[in-house]
Amino acid sequence: MATSLKRRSALTAGFAGVMSVLLAVSGCATGGTARRPGPALKSGSAVALKGDVTVWSWDVAAKALKRLAPAFEQQHPGVKVKVVDVGYDNAYDKITVGMRSGQGLPDVLTVEGSKLPSYIGNFPRGLYDLTSLAGRYKSSFAPATWANVTDERGRVFALPWDSGPCALFYRTDLFQQAGVDPASIHTWDDYVRAGEQIKAKTGKKLLVMDPAEDSMFPMMLQQQGQRYFKDGKVAVAGRQAVRAATLLKTLADKGLVDFEKGWDGLVAATKAGKVATTPYAVWWSGTLTDEMKELKGKFGVVPLPAFDAGGVRTSNDGGSTLAVAGQTKNPQAAWAFVEFALADAANQASMLKTEGLFPAFLPALNDPYVSAPQDYYGGRPVFKTFADLERTVPPVEYTKDGSKASDIINGTISGIVLHHDDPQKALNSAAQQIAAATGRAVG
């Protein structure tokens, strides 16, 4: 989600560390032992809902749910909804500790889509199985977001909330100054050539990268239809991964990358006009409009470059879900609130208009606001670009071992872009390290 992900890069490592420690203690890091199935919420006859529902969320997401709660309570007078802003810094520590201890969690949890599979896989009783109730909404969500909330057996453990389809944000003034037409950038090779021309004409670099925790590599992997694992095997040394890493090395070797640390570095570099583009998710728009009002009219959006002509021109970065905690004493009311907030086109569209959360619920993308001209972008209907791309994001495989793989990949990509490591050799080594850390075979 837009605001929560402002510090995503800086905090993912913390999430991975907490998960690694707790899973080592609990002995369920790699599975392999028979465990009781988790609780399941079944469909049945309608009952009057009553009692309290507590929801954990953060930042603008918490504000959105607080705004929607009174309307839900009006529909269900016997229910009182309490939304607690636990803060993004603390959210995953608290959720992980609560699942490990079996106590202390609320009724409804906000969990980012990429992190949900770790909880599903490592804590089989941590979340309610919502398949019988949520399964009917499958066609109302794009395949990529739906894949985040289901396990390998197709069971559903949450509903998607917002999503992060990716595109290329570009500085219209710098492109014009360099004589580059953004519509001419169809492939990543075109992007590199455009970057060389922009640098030669304006002195500006092409994009910002955080070498300690890069988000470009996983974005480029998903664009090619995979993540770190495929069919349960480690998949970071194959053709797709090597192409992505080689592209990043090329951009770095040609001096087109402005290396900055963390979220603050990205924002500062963009605000200062150091780079001409930002390949990022739709939620970046909220940062531009909130923190760079003085740059109004100087940004445009086009689809991501493809690896091959006619190929996929988007990916996904970010997005969250709402899940019913396995510890809840009021699962029916908890599910009803999740359904009310996320499986309703008007409610989802209102969260884009008011809080900047881009809907994962496809019917909400038909709202007139999505196709409306956006003043900040010089009247361009940029959300329509993202809405069209949302439906084409390739679904990928997330596993409970994603955080372990991320730690290793981050160091690998850093060596490639900063120290000129050979992509194939470096990724071969990374694949072996991930296999050793997870007990998985290399694909």
Q: What is the pLDDT of residue 39?
A: 86
Please state the rounded mean pLDDT for residues 281-285: 95
Q: Considering only CA atoms, give the Rg of the chain.
A: 22
The token duo for 238 is 């194959």
Q: What is the pLDDT of residue 9?
A: 34
pLDDT (tens digit per residue) in 160-184: 999 999 999 999 999 999 999 999 9
Distance CA(34)–CA(38), nearest Å, equals: 12
Distance CA(149)–CA(155), nearest Å, equals: 8
Distance CA(219)–CA(286), nearest Å, equals: 19
Confirm if 364 and 345 have CB atoms less than 8 A apart: yes
Which candidate, 325, 407, 440, places its Cα nearest to that of 32?
440
Confirm if 240 and 233 have CB atoms less than 8 A apart: no
pLDDT (tens digit per residue) in 409-434: 999 999 999 999 999 999 999 999 99
Distance CA(6)–CA(10), nearest Å, equals: 9
Do strands 257-259 and 207-209 pair parallel, antiparallel, or not at all (unpaired)? parallel
Q: Which residue has the higher pLDDT, 114 or 222?
A: 222
Q: How confident is the model at residue 221 (pLDDT cuts 50, 70, 90)?
A: very high
Please state the rounded mean pLDDT for residues 206-211: 96
Do strands 108-112 and 229-230 pair parallel, antiparallel, or not at all (unpaired)? unpaired
Which candidate, 332, 346, 338, 418, places its Cα nearest to that of 42?
332
Which stretches of 27-76 are DSSP H helices? 59-75
Which stretches of 126-261 are DSSP H helices? 131-134, 143-148, 172-178, 188-202, 216-223, 239-253
Does residue 34 register a pLDDT over 80?
no
Q: What is the pLDDT of residue 5?
A: 42
Burial of 83 from C-beta contacts in 10 A (0-12 / 13-18 / 19+): buried
The DSSP H or E segment spanning 276 is none
Burial of 190 from C-beta contacts in 10 A (0-12 / 13-18 / 19+): middle
Q: What b/e readout covers 324-352, taking b as 16+ CB neighbours within 10 angstroms?
A: bbbbbebbbbbbbbbbbbbbbbebbbbbb
The token duo for 397 is 């495989």
The token duo for 91 is 């959210």
Q: Give me the amino acid identity at 270.
A: T
* Phi-psi category of residue 8: left, alpha or beta, with phi > 0 → left and psi -120 to 50 → alpha: alpha
pLDDT (tens digit per residue) in 375-397: 999 999 999 999 999 999 999 99
Q: What is the pLDDT of residue 38?
A: 73
Domains of the chain: 4-28+43-164+318-373 (3.40.190.10), 165-316+398-438 (3.40.190.10)
Which candidate, 145, 128, 111, places its Cα nearest to that of 15?
111
Distance CA(182)–CA(172), nearest Å, equals: 8
Please state the rounded mean pLDDT for residues 110-125: 93
